[in-house]
Structure 1
């Protein structure tokens, strides 16, 4: 019980601290660019035309709604985080109790050691079930969070309170409205999890020397690196999920002429891929001007 409470408190604290970052990221993901590009330098020192980064974007939001405006959507996101942590822990606890029952079977015979790869598959499957259950339960709060953020674009107040947002979604879209964008989000989580754990197993088994004294630290580092790599590869699923969660919901940020109406998440995926925007919002600091945009940014002004 104490571990669960500490996880909830830690997760809530991280959620509060990261709320402005997620707010900016979501607005960028839907393609909202209120600030013109500026002249900057890339990692190689060359002058480039780039869009404002996280801090300039956050300052723009604060100039309109105040610093409290940077925490728009925090309440449903906190609910999602707390509920997701509890559900995730309950599912894993159920599997642990099943293992204890099996270990206390007739004769109390010690089982053979499970092969390492089979153990990875077993643990990954259980983690997948726990994450999927948590995602399924918390997705309605995720949808409310995204829509309360996106309404900044059109200055609406349609999704302000948690209760009012639930009533609005149910009245206009029914039960399915609470699960808009669920499929790509689930697929992204599952693919990322399996990819991360599989890569970490291959690296730890075949690339690292078991004789190294700091083997446990090296394995933890490899898990972090493979997790980052897997999240980069599956980012398009996150983008498509967020776009579908706000698509055609009655807000300016998710409706024509600002945003097209997608018939399905596959249609959204194909259109983003065609436009070359599959990584939109992935970077919050070095942001190049999207392909096809006609911003006025003349490098010759610096000469």
Structure 2
């Protein structure tokens, strides 16, 4: 019980601290660029035409809505984090993950069992918390059109149910689930291969090396599955009655596959993946009137 409470408190603290970062990232994912490109230098020192980074973007938001505006969408995101932590822990407990930890085997069979249990727990948490995720995203992109459609948590729930029914709460769920599952299996499989065949088991810092390899493979897996995150977020706000989910920022997609294909065709599969050194893509120009790249 104490462990669960500490996890909730730690998770809530990290959620609050990362809220401005997530807010900027979501607006960039949608394609909103309120500030024009400037001439800057990349990590190699070369002059390039680049878009403003995280801090300039956040400063622009604060200049309009104040510093408090950087925490738009925090309440539903906190609800999602707390509920997700509780559900994840409960499912893991009920699935008997502790029995696997007691086994001394480090075989790939054990990795499969652990990953399967983790996949079930994460998927359950994702499905249950997705409605809060949708509300969070829609609250954030209201900045684009200066709307006030999704303000309070209860009002947002009523609005989605009235306009879209129950399915509206699960917009963008499928690509989000697929991305989580693929990322988890890829991360754990790569970590197993590295720990088994690349690391010397006789090294005294073996446990520390394993934790590093898990972090590196996790980062690599998240990079590869980022398109699923982008597509999920775009589908969650698509055609929801907000400027950020409607043309010209977002076409009306018929499905998440249609969204994926269109982003791939436009070369936007990594949009929002980086918040620093944001180079203007080749062939794109900045439109001041629309505040976006075309």
Query: Structure 2 length normalisation: TM-score?
Result: 0.93
CA offset digits 1:56-85 (Å, max 9, x no partner) = 000000000000000000000000000000
CA offset digits 1:10-52 (Å, max 9, x no partner) = 0000000000000000000000000000111111110110000
CA separation of 1:116 and 1:159: change in aligned 2, threshold 3 A? same
Q: Contact conserved, 1:37 with 1:297, CA < 8 A, in 2?
A: no
Which of 149, 172, 190 is matched with 1:181 structurally?
A: 172
- Cα offset for 1:294? 1.6
- Cα offset for 1:302? 23
Q: Contact conserved, 1:37 with 1:289, CA < 8 A, in 2?
A: yes
Question: Which structure has the larger Rg over C-alpha atoms?
Answer: 1
- Cα offset for 1:290? 2.8
Q: Contact conserved, 1:38 with 1:50, CA < 8 A, in 2?
A: yes
CA separation of 1:229 and 1:59: change in aligned 2, threshold 3 A? same
Q: Contact conserved, 1:39 with 1:299, CA < 8 A, in 2?
A: no
Where do residues 34-53 of structure 1 align in structure 2 (5 Å cutoff)? 34-53=34-53
CA separation of 1:104 and 1:186: change in aligned 2, threshold 3 A? closer
CA separation of 1:287 and 1:104: change in aligned 2, threshold 3 A? closer
- The CA distance in 2 between the partners of 1:294 and 1:114, in whole Å, is 56
- The CA distance in 1 between the partners of 2:82 and 2:219, in whole Å, is 24
- Cα offset for 1:195? 0.2
CA offset digits 1:269-298 (Å, max 9, x no partner) = 000000000000000011011343223999
- The CA distance in 1 between the partners of 2:141 and 2:76, in whole Å, is 14
- The CA distance in 1 between the partners of 2:190 and 2:151, in whole Å, is 42
- The CA distance in 1 between the partners of 2:99 and 2:38, in whole Å, is 70
Look up the match of 1:195.
Answer: 186
| Number of corresponding residues | 294
Q: Contact conserved, 2:179 with 2:226, CA < 8 A, in 1?
A: yes
Q: Contact conserved, 2:286 with 2:292, CA < 8 A, in 1?
A: no
Q: Contact conserved, 1:38 with 1:297, CA < 8 A, in 2?
A: no
CA separation of 1:267 and 1:114: change in aligned 2, threshold 3 A? same
- The CA distance in 1 between the partners of 2:114 and 2:167, in whole Å, is 31
Between 178-187 and 291-300, report the one with greater CA deviation: 291-300
Structure 1: runs of 5 or more not aligned: 93-101
Structure 2: runs of 5 or more not aligned: none
- Cα offset for 1:257? 3.0
CA separation of 1:104 and 1:239: change in aligned 2, threshold 3 A? closer
CA offset digits 1:217-251 (Å, max 9, x no partner) = 11110000000000000000000000000000000
SS of the aligned residue for 2:291 comes to: helix
- Cα offset for 1:110? 15
- Cα offset for 1:211? 1.2
